[in-house]
Amino acid sequence: MSRADPSFAVSHDADASETLLCGFSEVGLAGLTAADYLVKQFDLEQTGHIDVEQLPTITPFENGTPRHHTRLFSRDDLEFTVLVGELLVPAYAADPFSEAILEWAETASVEEIVVASGVPTPHGPDDHRPFYIASRDYQAAHDLAAADVKPMSGGFLDGINSAITARGMSSPLQTCVFTTPAHPQTPDAEAALRLLGAIDRVYDLGLDTGPMETFASKISRYYEELADRMAAQETADRMPEDRMYM
């Protein structure tokens, strides 16, 4: 098997929910941060994971305990499963990775796949809002306008998002990518908040975003202070050296 032929296998120990919410590792980690927040806020249990072969991988750990890099979480009384993908999937592996997820979803009778994704695109303050790229049947099933989520005006999807969205055009599977401009600083908690807001409004989850708002504020202050220190250092570096007393 060559480097271009990685393989992925989904293991899942519970009945899948009708909705699969995904957050992957990408620029700004906005979608991943949003997915992880849903897991913690709703106290979801790990019910599956994705293994990979023929691909450089990672083994995350916390408090000395390792975990799978891509995990599925659910709860019996909630109608959604959350996929938290900490593995950075390179472009050449996006198709087989997406195909493994899609094949499992269809076998498990998942009706819709939703991806939360930050995009590193030039933008102004008015663009700090969530957008959607969704299959027609997903748009028909959910009142996105009432949820204050606008359609993305134009562009291209690639990688995992492209593969999932394309399946939504050619099968009964409903698909949606909720996206928002994200900054390269990691994590972009404000972008994650916008994605969480969209998901909360569309699915009426009653989500408490207070802890994320506090985290976003702390992260924002950190980067503002970092920028100020860097600017001050650059100014000091440009100042002529005073040699009067040499």
pLDDT higher than threshold 50 for residue 54: yes
What mean pLDDT do residues 204-212 have? 91
What mean pLDDT do residues 23-31 have? 90
245 in a domain, yes or no?
no
Confidence of residue 195 (pLDDT cuts 50, 70, 90): very high
pLDDT at site 43: 96
- Residue 114: domain span: 7-208
- The 3-state DSSP class for residue 224 equals helix
Residue 222's nearest CA partner among 190, 179, 174 is 190
Q: Where is pLDDT greater, at 51 or 211?
A: 51
Q: Where is pLDDT greater, at 238 or 23?
A: 23
What distances in angstroms separate CA 184 from CA 30, 89, 129, 145, 189, one per listed residue? Answer: 10, 17, 17, 29, 11
Confidence of residue 57 (pLDDT cuts 50, 70, 90): confident
Residue that the structure tokens 């100014």 belong to = 235
DSSP state of 131: E
For residue range 60-106, what is the model confidence (pLDDT) as tens digits?
A: 999 999 999 999 999 999 999 999 999 999 889 999 999 999 999 99
Structural contact between residues 110 and 167, judged by C-beta atoms closer than 8 angstroms: no
166 in a domain, yes or no?
yes
225 in a domain, yes or no?
no
Residue 56's nearest CA partner among 115, 6, 125, 128 is 6
226 in a domain, yes or no?
no
176 in a domain, yes or no?
yes
246 in a domain, yes or no?
no
Q: What is the CATH number of the domain that holds 38?
A: 3.40.50.10900
Read off the pTM: 0.85
132 in a domain, yes or no?
yes
125 in a domain, yes or no?
yes
Q: State the number of CA atoms in the 13 A half-sphere of 92 facing the CB.
A: 8
Residue 10's nearest CA partner among 47, 37, 39 is 47
> Distance between CA atoms of 183 and 209, rounded to whole angstroms?
20
Which residue type occupies 150? K
Work out how many domains the chain is built from and give that number.
1
Q: What is the DSSP string of 142-194?
A: S-TTTTT-EEP-S----HHHHHHHHHHHHSS-EEEEEEEE--SSSS-HHHHHH
Confidence of residue 15 (pLDDT cuts 50, 70, 90): confident
